[in-house]
Amino acid sequence: MTEKIPAFNATGRRKTAVARVSLIPGTGKWICNSADPQAYFKTEAILRYIEQPMKLTDTLQKFDIKASLNGGGIAGQAGAMRHAIARALVSSDASLREVLKASGCMTRDSRMKERKKYGQPGARKRFQFSKR
pLDDT in tens, 20-71: 999 999 999 999 999 999 999 999 999 999 999 999 999 999 999 999 999 9
Residue 93: inside a domain: yes
Residue 129, domain member (yes or no): no
Q: Is 32 part of any domain?
A: yes
pTM here is: 0.89
- 70 part of a folded domain: yes
Specify the 3-state DSSP secondary structure of 127.
Answer: coil
Counted residue by residue, the chain has a size of: 132
| CATH code of the domain in which 63 resides | 3.30.230.10
Report the alpha-carbon distance of residue 26 to residue 60 in Å, rounded: 10
Q: What is the pLDDT of residues 4-32, one digit of tens each?
A: 778 999 999 999 999 999 999 999 999 99
**Structural domains of the chain, count:** 1
**What is the domain extent for residue 33?**
8-103
